[in-house]
Each structure stands twice: as C-alpha cells, then as structure tokens.
Amino acid sequence: MPPPTPTYLAYQHDAKLLHLETTIQSIQPFSDLDEANKTLFKSPGENDLILVTKETIFHPQGGGQPSDEGYIFPAGTDPSTSNNPEKALLQVLAARMDATNNGQVLHLVRPMPNTTTPLQSLTPTTPILQSIDAQKRLLYSRLHTAGHVLGSAVRHLLESSIPNFDELKASHFPDSASCEFRGSIPGEHKAAIQARVDEYIARGMPVEIEFWGEEDFEREGVPHLLPDRGLLAPGESKFRVVRIVGAEVYPCGGTHVDTTDLCGGTVVKKISRSKGNSRVSYAVV
C-alpha cells in the first residue's frame, strides 16, 4: 500500500491566502484515529471528524504558533460571502501534523448544525473551499514576527556580553508569548531591549520568505542554523527561511506580516531566569 500523499502547505508559500479551493483526501470520525493522533487534540466532540485535504491554508499548531481556525464551505462558494458560518459545511476547530503519516495535516472539524449537505457526500476527491479566521491569522502572524524581532534585538544587544548566549525556543501564543535564551540576562537590560525592539518595529523592515539549500546557509555565513533534514516541510527539498532584512534570518515554518511595523506595538513584559537560561516575555497591542 503506497504511503499517504503529504498535504501541500499552501500557507508556507502565500500566508495571505484566506480562502483556498482544494479537494478532500479523506474524512473519518475522530474516534477512528489511532491513539498517537488522538492525543494531539484536546476535548473533541462526540460527532467531530478528521479531515485531510490535498492542500491546506490552515497552519497546524507547531513551531510555537497556534493552530488556525475557520470553516469548510462547498466548492464554488463566493469567498466574499464565506465569512457567514451559516453557509458552511464544517467548522475547523484545530489542525495538527499527523503523528504517524508523515506530512499529512489533520483538521479537526465539526459538522455545522444547519447544513443541508449530507456528510455522506463528502468523499475523497470532493472539491471544497477552505476559509480561515482572518483576524486570528493576523494576530498569530504579528506575534510570530514580533517574536523574531525580539530575538534579533536580544541577540544584537547581548550576544557578545552574555556567556554561552544562544537563542533556544519561543512561544507565540497570545497569552504566553516569550523567547528563551541560553545565559542569564539581568533585568536591567529590559529597557535597552525594549528600545531596540521599538527601533526595529519603527523601521518597517521587510520580512521575506526564502527557501534555502545547505549551500545557502554556508553562503550566508550561518551554517549553525541549518536544521536537521528530518524537519523539511512535506514535499520540499529546501528549508523555509524567514529573513528580517537588516536584522536576522530564522529557519521557520510559521506565518508572518510583510514588514516589522505591521507587528504593531510590541511590549517587552518581563525577563525571568532559571537554571542558567532566560525567558523574555512579550505581547503585541
């Protein structure tokens, strides 16, 4: 039996896509999932389903970014009217990368109560229209770019003065956004970090999406940023890189705003330290 076809991650190539016509690859009751995938989702409903599509504009939770949400409409629905949930077939509650079939995106969906389309008609190859929650996508994109701005600001300010400094991981969730660093960052640096973040935001630095091979990391002088090849996006032969022009580059699969000023006000909230590492929390306003 051939392996499942990976889902084409359309949002990685055009994060401005709010609507996308695609086709169903599979749809099944949530209860039919294997245990490894069931644990990816919290509190599914009794009638919830798992939808896999040929392409997706729904960013699955991961890389520090929350899952997109939205709706599934019949193919041919006018995108300008797809903000009306009453016309939707399914509500998309969450998306996750499949834990067992490499490269597929699992959409947790709930049938809309007023739909007149029988669910039995939603079979493989059925065309549909995906529509994401635009406000949440914009918020998550602002937060993700702001996190990279913060990371760049901290690196440029403190890399040479904090022993063993390095960027570790980040969360771009609205209520818990933060960047973690190796090394102890004293609280007295908060004002300087805020000033540098404000500078980067005000400059409206372009945020560019590029796809790099190993030779590109060498050419750019950042071979240490080369990810493990196991982290390549499904169907891709090169790594996706986000470049904040004039500041930093990051291997990253998330969604972003086009220029740093579109992050809006970015507030450095707190610097905390534990076991030799530091966490700088932030928010966008």
Q: What is the DSSP string of 104-163?
A: PEEEEEEE-TT--S-GGG--TT-EEEEEE-HHHHHHHHHHHHHHHHHHHHHHHHHTTTST
pLDDT at 135: 96
pLDDT at 116: 73
Residue 117 has pLDDT above 80, yes or no: no
Between the alpha carbon of residue 214 and those of residues 164, 200, 224, 237, 238, the distances in Å are: 25, 28, 11, 10, 8
Residue 104 has pLDDT above 90, yes or no: yes
**What are the structural domains, with CATH classification, of the chain?**
8-132 (2.40.30.130), 138-284 (3.30.980.10)
pLDDT at 83: 72
Alpha helices per DSSP H over 58-132 = none
pLDDT at 101: 81
Read off the tokens for 98: 């499949």
d(CA 78, CA 71): 13
Q: How much is the average pLDDT of 197-213?
A: 97
**Least confident interval from 105-119, 142-156, 181-195:** 105-119
Q: How much is the average pLDDT of 171-186?
A: 97
Residue 255 has pLDDT above 80, yes or no: yes
pLDDT at 118: 78
pLDDT at 229: 85
Q: How much is the average pLDDT of 171-182?
A: 97
Q: What is the mean pLDDT of the chain?
A: 94
